[in-house]
Structure 1
Amino acid sequence: MSGTGTRRHVVVVGAGPAGLAAAAAALRAGARVTLLDASDRPGGQYHRMLPAEYEAEDNGRLHHGWDAFQRLRAHVESHPNAEWWPDSAVWALERPDDGTSAPWVHVLRGPADGAGRERHVLAPDALVLATGAHDRVLPFPGWELPGVFTAGAAQALAKGERVVVGDRVVVAGSGPFLLPVAASLLEAGSDVLQVLEANAAPTVLRGWARRPWELAAQAGKTAELAGYTGLLARHRVPYRLGRAVVEARGDGRVEEVVTARLTAGWTPVPGTERTVAVDAVCVTHGFSPQLELPVAAGCGLRDGFVEVDGAQRTTAPGVYAAGEITGIAGAPAARAEGLLAGWTAAGGDPSDRAVRAAVRRRDQGRAFAARLAAAHPIGTGWPGWLRPDTLICRCEETDYGTLRAAAEDPATGAARAVKLGTRAGLGPCQARVCGPAVADLCGRRPDRAVPGLASASHHRRPVAQPIRLGELAATPGQPPEEKENSTDER
């Protein structure tokens, strides 16, 4: 519900670095804040904590910026004008008929596997979306085998549960995220055999060396990098450039991986294949922003991310965005964006002295994002490691041969026909995993581009998160079994 009197009500979705900073800034600007997150504690992936039953003695050893995070968390959770809603999934956004107000926020409160989740509907004055991103993984033969993990999932298990995904692990893909993942696995007790960066050394060095004076603003990241590099060196973990996992093999689960040297465009070089015995492999090729809620809110996209102005306003009325849904630039940039988004959403002036430093850090973060994209691009030659029977959409078991045949057929090459004919992207994950790869593979021929798959269409879903039919039928504000004779929060 909207706030009473003149105090604005700001709803923030996501309690990672961007969302937590947005909540704190909105409170500072005088708003009433409701902070939502699907997890039971704030922090997001970056500050994912161990369960309370076996909390670490010194979380500062496991997290960069831990003390600052703890202060920010305590401030938000204890503030009289703040409500913290853990275990809360936003399953839909509904645009008001007037077209000028922030959307209504449909929320399910309670553990995802619980039977008594409550439905709520909030009608805020402003909405800040800080939903983050998830791993992008390019398919390869055998990637569906048990024991093949996204790097983010492996890190979440190591950081949040102290569970190792395997004893002998290879970490592969592209981007600096490979290093903290390897570090988390080593700290949890895994033997990391090697870390593989798909881009060749000249590509990485050229990207990081452009406009070198800008690196002075990223001293914190340089220290992090040095820490991860030192940890890998102490454990004698080789870090190899221009090499990738191109196949996983095993009987019922992964038992070995095949790695190969790549050209600058990521085409495998024949004769360079090497087989490594493993019981787990962790792979990531960058990140895909979680765009279901921004698209549902009517936010415009640019280059695959939410389009925002200088004050983090989106193109949708009353909606602001911060963090990785606006660009992959790291936690410091996400915090700066969140601070600016929360301040502006609460009615604060984005040119106020209170947020000038955040604007500067945000702009530095955007420059860092451009450097990151230049140093760790996804090469166009990666389909060279696919075979016709390689699964692309694991939910619907659509293989590469079927997908390419449908995309190249003049009668079925339209986006909707490809999707309906192959079922690619229509399974339980709703293209969250395979969507970017399907779009890439289907759009390779200039005369056979599939714009419907490459655009935001696979994010446009009325229901953004799973909801049970009983929960859907329940009156908002009450558990399903108590829905009789209750009234809507709105």
Structure 2
Amino acid sequence: MATERPHLAVIGAGPAGLAASLAAAAHGVRVTLIDSAAGAGGQFYRRPPAGLGARHPEALHHGWRTWRRLGDALAARVEAGTIRHLADHHVWCVEPVERVEPVERVEPVELVVHALLGPLQEEPVTVRADAVLLATGGYEKVLPFPGWTLPGVVTAGGAQAMLKGGLVVPGQRAVVAGTGPLLLPVATGLAAAGVEVAALVESADPKAFLRRPLALAAQPGKVAEGVRYGAQLLRHHVKLLPRHTVVAAHGEQRLDAVTVAALDTHGRVGPGTERRIACDTLAVGHGMLAHIDLAESLGCRIDGLNVAVDEEQRTDVPGVWAAGETTGIGGAALSLAEGHIAGRSAAARLTGTRPDPHTWARAARSRRRAREFFAALDTVYAPPAHWTEQVTDDTVVCRCEEVTAGAVRNAADELGAGDVRTVKLLTRAGMGWCQGRMCEPAVAGLTGCEQTPARRLLARPVPLGVLARAGDPEND
């Protein structure tokens, strides 16, 4: 073992995971890149399968040149044997195991990654490594409103995934609504694909960006990107409704219209401002949340709802690094910078070398600028302060267990629940397949409880048979 190169397991093949894998492999570390998708790239670089015959997949992306560089470098490393790419592997647990005999230059800790292979997720796979880098990304925040469960209502990211990954559109006439920078590429992408986008409904006030000139000046590329999106909205005649929100979705068997309304300066719906817009698709999003389940199960310190890391992207658990959206939502550029830093740091720690100070400083500058920019975005893009006032008592909040807003409110107001976990125990909100990942922000908002890390033991549902075999040494 002392003569073998140290082994790093990278979980997640999005921008952060790709950058980390390539950086670590370039500096003498064996890398196993594990991802649940069939191909590398994550959500940001999602592409249609080759069988669909897309002639110009780059038309659905910005940053395509970056993806080509990353994808080609990964392919070369896989062919050379310095990176092993395990696609369609769904990681459900990572556990540390103390070494009997410490390996030279490596901390006396071994980390075991447990995954399930394939679409049915029934075949267990175990990967043993000297260190683990978590690049598990983020997922969309979902906030309920009357009618949000109707067929035809999808998340903004879901609509984008259908277009980028399947070359299909969710409908013929769409409204894109919510808040956050994701709405712009979704609206322009749907419009370019032939969908009539009736309106882009944004609850934030774009003028708020003018009060943050330093953050904008530090990221001229992002400003130019926003201008390009604005020009595309004009070209496709998409009506922009800033400081507006969706009040309700309407339809019998499926969506046929939405009601939107203007917001006052306090984030409340202005009386008499409602308007009805006919549509068969509503793509709605309210920002992103970090995937932190694996970090929680490892005992990593969580800062708010993000994994806490130091300047080298190390967590406080020996042998565990984290990068990208799991440490805070910040877009692809920030994920690439953090991934590079994390991969270099892991390689240096595992091999006993020191990173090149100039390359390190350049990546650190990119990380700092991107963090500052997205910190400014966070102050602008936020759900309306009083969004819960539009949620009627009969609105379903937890779709898995069909728990209504009235039941959630009753748990807090009448039964005395003072935290999200108690609401879950009293109502079953969050006990379904997603284990509260989708409904937890809504439950917290409706009850006034703080949304705190859930400390889930497993990162995804696992068959009992797999759990029973996981502790059997013969299956390691």
TM over 0.5: yes
Contact 2:176 2:283 in 1 (8 A): yes
**Whole-angstrom CA distance in 2 between matches of 1:237 and 1:359:** 38
1:237 matched to 2:238: yes
Q: Secondary structure at the match of 1:144?
A: coil
Give, as a single letter, the amino acid of the residue that structure 1 aligns with 2:285. T
Q: 2:157 and 2:296 mapped to 1: Cα distance?
A: 24
1:64 CA drift (Å): 1.7
Alignment partner, residue 434 of structure 1? 439
Unaligned runs of 5+ in 1: 444-449, 477-482
Distance change >3 Å, CA 265–CA 139, structure 1 → 2: farther
Equivalent residue runs for 1:15-34 within 5 Å: 15-34=13-32
Q: 1:417 maps to what in 2? A: 422
| Pair 135,470 (structure 1): closer, same or farther in 2 beyond 3 Å | same
Question: 2:207 matched to 1:205?
Answer: yes
Match of 1:358 among 363, 371, 375: 363
Pairwise CA distance, 1:425: 1.0
Partner of 1:146: 151
Aligned residue type for 2:148: W
Q: Which amino acid aligns with 2:197?
A: V
Equivalent position of 2:109 in the other structure: 101
In structure 2, relative to structure 1, the CA distance for the partners of 1:387 and 1:358 (3 Å cut) is: same
Among 4, 8, 11, the residue aligned to 1:10: 8
CA contact (8 A) 2:24 2:346 kept: yes
Paired with 2:196 and 2:164, the residues of 1 have a C-alpha distance of 16
Q: How far is the alpha carbon of 1:296 from its aligned partner?
A: 1.2
How far apart in 1 are the matches of 2:366 and 2:146? 41
Q: CA offsets per residue over residues 13-63 of structure 1, 9 Å max, x none?
A: 111111100101111121100111111111111111011112422333222
Which digits, 9 at most, give the CA deviation of each residue in 1:222-266, with x for residues without a partner? Answer: 232222222211110011101111101111211111111112332
Does the Cα contact within 8 Å between 1:92 and 1:293 map onto a contact in 2? yes
Q: C-alpha distance in 2, partners of 1:102/1:217?
A: 41
Tell me which residue corresponds to 1:465: 460
Question: Which segments of structure 1 move beyond 6 Å, counting only runs of 4 or more?
Answer: none
Equivalence for 1:66: 64
Residues 127/133 of structure 1: CA separation in 2 closer, same or farther (3 Å cut): same
- Give the TM-score of the pair, scaled to structure 1: 0.89
Aligned twin of 1:456 = 453
After the TM superposition, which residues 26-425 of structure 1 pair with which residues of structure 2 at under 5 Å, given as runs?
26-79=24-77, 80-96=81-97, 101=109, 103-110=111-118, 112-113=119-120, 117-199=122-204, 201=205, 204-206=206-208, 208-347=209-348, 349=354, 352-409=357-414, 411-413=416-418, 415-425=420-430
Distance 1:411 1:177 in 2: 37
Name the stretch that deviates more: 168-177 or 186-195: 186-195
CA distance in 2, matches of 1:36, 1:414: 35
Shift of 1:409: 3.0
- 1:480 maps to none
Distance 1:30 1:137 in 2: 42
Q: SS of the residue aligned with 1:395?
A: coil
CA distance in 2, matches of 1:415, 1:231: 42
The 8 Å contact of residues 126 and 346 in structure 1, kept in 2 or not, is answered as no
Question: Which consecutive residues of structure 2, in runs of 5 or more, have no partner in the other structure?
Answer: 100-106
Contact 2:256/2:278 (<8 A) preserved: yes
- Normalising by the residue count of structure 2, what TM-score does the alignment of the two structures yield? 0.92
Counterparts of 1:269 and 1:50, CA distance in 2? 42
Aligned partner of residue 32 in structure 2, secondary structure: strand
Query: 2:53, 2:313 → 1: CA distance?
Result: 36
Contact 1:407–1:442 at 8 Å: present in 2 too?
Answer: yes
Between the aligned partners of 2:164 and 2:9, the Cα distance in structure 1 is: 28
Deviation at 1:211, TM superposition (A): 4.5
SS at structure 2 position matched to 1:253: coil
One-letter amino acid of the counterpart of residue 145, structure 2: F
* Distance in 2 (alpha carbons) for counterparts of 1:245 and 1:211: 27
Residues 350 and 265 from structure 1, CA distance in 2 versus in 1: closer, same or farther, beyond 3 angstroms? Answer: farther
**Structure 1 pair 426/264, CA: closer, same or farther in 2 (3 Å)?**
farther
In structure 2, do the counterparts of structure 1 residues 11 and 406 end up closer, same or farther at CA, with 3 Å as the change threshold?
same
Shift of 1:123: 2.2
The residue type paired with residue 310 of structure 2 is D
Tell me what 2:104 maps to: none
Q: Distance in 1 between matches of 2:24 and 2:254?
A: 48
Aligned counterparts of 1:365 and 1:212: Cα–Cα separation in 2: 14
SS of the counterpart of 1:229?
helix
Instruction: Quote the RMSD (CA, aligned, Å).
Output: 2.2
Residues 340 and 350, structure 1, Cα contact 8 Å, conserved in 2: no
How many residues are aligned here?
Answer: 462
Secondary structure at 1:367 match in 2: helix
Q: State how far apart, in whole Å, the 2-side matches of 1:294 and 1:144 are.
A: 31
What per-residue deviation string (whole Å, max 9, x for no partner) do you get for residues 312-334 of structure 1?
Answer: 11122211111111122211111
Change (3 A) 1:181 1:414: closer
Which amino acid in the other structure matches residue 251 of structure 1?
Answer: E
Residue 474 of structure 1 and its aligned partner are, at CA, apart by 5.0
Shift of 1:414: 5.2
In structure 2, relative to structure 1, the CA distance for the partners of 1:475 and 1:130 (3 Å cut) is closer
Shift of 1:105: 0.8
Q: Which residue pairs with 1:479 in the alignment?
A: none
* Aligned-residue identity in percent: 43
Instruction: Please give the alpha-carbon distance, in whole angstroms, between the structure 1 residues aligned to 2:218 and 2:70.
Output: 23
Q: State whether residues 469 and 475 of structure 2, in contact with CA within 8 Å, keep that contact through their aligned partners in structure 1.
A: no
Q: Which residue of 2 aligns with 1:446?
A: none
The answer on whether the counterparts of 1:327 and 1:369 sit within 8 Å (CA) in structure 2 is no
Q: Which moved more, 1:165-174 or 1:419-428?
A: 419-428
Quote how far apart the aligned CAs of 1:430 are.
Answer: 0.7
- The offset of 1:6, in angstroms, is 4.9
Letter in 2 for 1:314: T
Secondary structure class of the residue paired with 1:103 = strand
Q: Classify 1:243/1:414 alpha carbon distance in 2 versus 1 (closer, same or farther; 3 Å).
A: closer
